[in-house]
Chain A
Amino acid sequence: SAVISQKPSRDICQRGTSLTIQCQVDSQVTMMFWYRQQPGQSLTLIATANQGSEATYESGFVIDKFPISRPNLTFSTLTVSNMSPEDSSIYLCSVAVRVWNEQFFGPGTRLTVL
């Protein structure tokens, strides 16, 4: 298993600003993922964070809006850029240790954009 921490746990931001969310894992992991979850909805994958290369983004998400860094095997950041109220959501990072196997999630970041 893996223990994951996220910072900040919540934030209230003004439109037009940017917020960087940090995800720290207690062990080296192969894959890290960033999700967005609207209240009462399922999880939507934003991107897969690859160590040593650019993140792989899902349809509807672009690097300019959601730049991701993965400097090593235990840490990643997601930036939500030029925020609008539509970006208000919960952002979750997760890790996968082995292929075909389960993911472990951080506690999430609750973002409100005014």
Chain B
Amino acid sequence: GQQVMQIPQYQHVQEGEDFTTYCNSSTTLSNIQWYKQRPGGHPVFLIQLVKSGEVKKQKRLTFQFGEAKKNSSLHITATQTTDVGTYFCAEGRSNYQLIWGAGTKLIIKP
């Protein structure tokens, strides 16, 4: 069925360390979107990638779309406490629906 696999489920990091979450699919993705959900909050759109090999940056966040459009990653450099939350990838479909990954929860160790 339609699936976007996302790993890891959790990542514990010390503040200042880097964080990466990965999404992959067995089929070519039309596009990949990334969302952040803060604890107790709702998903908020971060970015969309459409082109093969595309790389986009937002301050300390780097988003990549694989050359084959079957995988994507989100990398955060030097994490801060404000980065805490769950990061979801999702594929946008022609029927307006999103196919969601399982999410990666970023936990900052005290």
A52 cross-chain contacts in B, Cβ below 8 A: none
CA distance A99 to B30 in the complex (A): 12
A48 touching B97 in the complex, CB below 8 Å, given contacts A42-B102, A103-B45, A105-B43: yes
- Contact in complex: B97, A101 (CB < 8 Å): no
How many chain B residues have a CB neighbour from A under 8 Å?
Answer: 22
Given the known A-B contacts A92-B42, A102-B45, are A42 and B94 also in contact in the complex, defined by CB atoms under 8 Å? no
Using a CB-CB cutoff of 8 Å, which residues 32-65 of chain A contact chain B?
33, 40-43, 45, 48
Q: Does B105 interact with chain A (Cβ within 8 Å)?
A: yes
The count of residues in chain A whose C-beta lies closer than 8 Å to any C-beta of chain B is: 21
Contact: B96 with A102, CB < 8 Å? no
Tell me which residues across on chain B come within 8 A of A41, comparing CB atoms.
102-103
Measured CB to CB, the closest approach of chain B to A6, in angstroms, equals: 9
Report whether A103 and B88 are in contact in the complex, using a CB–CB cutoff of 8 Å: no
Q: A42-B102, A43-B100, A102-B33 are in contact. Are A107 and B42 (CB under 8 A)?
A: yes
Q: Which residues of chain B in 48-105 are interfacial with respect to chain A, using CB atoms and an 8 Å cutoff?
A: 48, 88, 92-98, 100-103, 105
- Output the nearest chain A residue to B10 by Cβ-Cβ distance: A40
A100-B30 in contact given A40-B105, A105-B43, A107-B42 (Cβ < 8 Å): yes
Q: Which residues of B contact A (CB under 8 A)?
A: 30-31, 33, 41-45, 48, 88, 92-98, 100-103, 105
Q: What are 16 sample pairs from A and B whose C-beta atoms fall under 8 A apart?
A: A40-B105, A41-B103, A42-B100, A42-B102, A43-B43, A48-B95, A48-B96, A92-B42, A100-B30, A100-B31, A100-B94, A102-B92, A103-B43, A103-B45, A106-B42, A107-B41
Which are the 4 A-B pairs with shortest beta-carbon distances?
A102-B45, A105-B42, A31-B96, A96-B96
